Amino acid sequence: MKEVGVALIGHRFMGRAHSNAYRQVVPFFRPRLTPRMRVLCGRDRKAVSRAAQELGWEEAATDWREVVNRPDVDLVDISTPGDSHAEIAIAAARAGKAILCEKPLANSVREAEAMLKAVEKAGVVHMLCHNYRRIPAVMLAKRLIDEGEIGTVHHFRGTYLQDWILDPDLPLLWRFQKAKAGSGALGDIASHSLDLGRFLVGEIAEVAGALETFIKTRPLVDNPKKKGRVTVDDASAAVVRFANGALGTIEGTRMAAGRKNYNRFEVNGSRGSIAFDLERMNELQVYLSSDPAPVRGFRTILVTDPDSHPYIRAWWPPGHIIGYEHTFVHTVYDLLEGIAKGKSPRPNFADGVANQRVLAAWEKSARSRRWQKV
């Protein structure tokens, strides 16, 4: 089986999730191409060497510029904070490498457009890691909507709620700094809901957005006695109009006490509704108004049937549920198949640009307190 040499930049949260995916994909999915985990890159020599050993990488490195130009690397996986995505992706494209980039694609529309231009010019395969698209229940939602089962879509309601930043003593991590993260809850988690909205319903034409920063300063990471300014939103909410006429609401906050990773959506159509909640990710709630009246109501489908539901065949028998890490294995599998065919799977950098335009319009609308065209 032909090998694809992989370089992964970043070795913490997403670095671990992606490493696991490269290790799992071959035994379960038998892709046409085998990822060879050549090199893991970070900034701290000791930390990256340890991570490389733990996560199964052949080598560790500290200079991404050197790594993306290595002849034994075919795929560059960008799992670093947003401020480095554009520079790494453009260099990787110029070196002719396929690219998997974590979300959000960049910290600005300008950067995102430059990344798209670079991958198109180089003719390399590119993919954006909005892994939630690849949950079997979410794919079933997409299929039901596309096949018209719930009729004309009227509403999309996406909420992504967490509470891990409630403590004011939580230090000023990179996620609180606009120069590094681009935005706060907006790009971090609302971007996932917005990507799901585009995946399920279609393009967003207009947005009326709001952003709020409740905790304005936080202790510095290196000097907790001193405080620094939070330059991103803690919470974000928007009303959106889809090009097809559907009306949506999207909310992303890291200040919702008790909500840990509450990534939920509901789609209401002229003939039914669909609801999904990541914390019950093997299930899909479906309501069809065509059901006989006495038994009409939301039903819960356990989306684990290998014959009817995507990706499940590679895993376990029906009812033997899958979890968070599987979404990354599915992403990597589709990426490898994309590389084999020379076709960029979606979401790709073009989706990243489209998402970034909505995020930018949302921020602009929050500042002007007016509707903003995308």
Q: Which stretches of the chain bind ligand NAD, using CB under 6 A?
A: 9-15, 41-43, 64, 79-82, 84, 102-103, 129, 131, 188
Q: Considering the complex, what minimum distance in angstroms separates the CB of residue 10 from ligand NAD?
A: 3
Question: Is the four-CA dihedral 345, 350, 353, 359 of positive or negative sign?
Answer: negative
Q: Considering the complex, what minimum distance in angstroms separates the CB of residue 262 from ligand NAD?
A: 14
Q: How many CB atoms sit inside 10 A of residue 25's CB?
A: 24
d(CA 7, CA 23): 14
Instruction: Please identify, using beta-carbon distances, which residue of 153 and 278 lies nearer to ligand NAD.
Output: 278
Q: Considering the complex, what minimum distance in angstroms separates the CB of residue 350 from ligand NAD?
A: 18
d(CA 93, CA 122): 6
Instruction: Please identify, using beta-carbon distances, which residue of 34 and 84 lies nearer to ligand NAD.
Output: 84
Instruction: Please identify, using beta-carbon distances, which residue of 15 and 352 lies nearer to ligand NAD.
Output: 15
Q: Which helix (H) or strand (E) holds 118?
A: helix 109-122
Q: Considering the complex, what minimum distance in angstroms separates the CB of residue 61 from ligand NAD?
A: 9
In three-state secondary structure terms, 126 is: strand
Chain center to CA of 178: 19
In three-state secondary structure terms, 238 is: strand
d(CA 12, CA 41): 11
Instruction: Please identify, using beta-carbon distances, which residue of 128 and 246 lies nearer to ligand NAD.
Output: 128
Instruction: Please identify, using beta-carbon distances, which residue of 185 and 256 lies nearer to ligand NAD.
Output: 185
Instruction: Please identify, using beta-carbon distances, which residue of 331 and 365 lies nearer to ligand NAD.
Output: 331
Q: Considering the complex, what minimum distance in angstroms separates the CB of residue 299 from ligand NAD?
A: 28
Question: The tokens 């009246």 sit on which residue?
Answer: 293
Q: How far is CA 80 from CA 193, 211, 357, in A?
A: 21, 24, 21
State the SS3 of 276-313.
Answer: EEHHHCCEEEEEECCCCHHHCCCEEEECCCCCCCCCHH
Instruction: Please identify, using beta-carbon distances, which residue of 48 and 336 lies nearer to ligand NAD.
Output: 48
Q: How many CB atoms sit inside 10 A of residue 260's CB?
A: 11
Give me the residue whose beta carbon is nearest to ligand NAD.
Answer: 12
